[in-house]
Amino acid sequence: MTPAEQSKAALHICQLAPVVPVLVIEDLAHAKPLAQALVAGGLPALEVTLRTPCALDAIRAMAEVEGGHVGAGTLLTRADVKAAKEAGATYGVSPGATPALIDACCEFGLPLLPGAVTASEIMALLEKGYTVQKFFPAEQSGGAAFLKSIGSPLPQVSFCPTGGISLKTAPDYLSLKNILCVGGSWVAPKEAMAKGDWAAITALAAQARTLR
């Protein structure tokens, strides 16, 4: 799968909803009901970060939820890409991009949303064929103002910014022409997951769905 083909697939994922939940799953029992709650609220594209021991099993469980599109976040190595693909991830997200990571996504056919934060990084990925990119960490790297500015010289690239984005700041990003969606963790609070309050998470997802 070429980088251009990966970006075409990533474009489809990013257009499903204005917000992609960025999820850190610490209890495997939460995975499936969490996915069901988010999908029910109108957020079908889910990113499970590979930051916990049960992350890959969580992807397997969430991949069974009808209507969901589960991706693996925090991809860093070839092994991460292989494991994510085998677990049922339909796309991958990385905080940055290395030649080895890009080669692995091409090899295993996993659409990658590669991270970039400078004009040179964005240009280097565009040169390879990535027209859809992640901007991370968004709030700490200039936020919506930076992305508005970069849109003029690089209109070919569309972004999914993540990192520090909240319900309050998300509209600032979503109002820009070069923003497809934003990634955010506010739609799945740890407190609600710990209580099993899936109705509250569905309500937060439904609210996020209306942002665009």
Catalytic positions are 47, 134
Question: What distance in Å separates the CA atoms of residue 202 and residue 208, rounded to the nearest whole number?
Answer: 10
Question: What distance in Å separates the CA atoms of residue 18 and residue 162, rounded to the nearest whole number?
Answer: 12
Sequence-ordered alpha helix ranges (H) in the chain: 3-14, 31-40, 55-62, 78-87, 99-108, 119-128, 143-150, 170-174, 190-195, 198-209
Question: What distance in Å separates the CA atoms of residue 188 and residue 180, rounded to the nearest whole number?
Answer: 21
Instruction: Give the 3-state secondary structure of residue 95.
Output: coil
Q: How many Cα atoms sit within 13 Å of 179 on the Cβ side?
A: 27
Sheet architecture: strand order including 115-116: 115-116, 132-135, 158-161
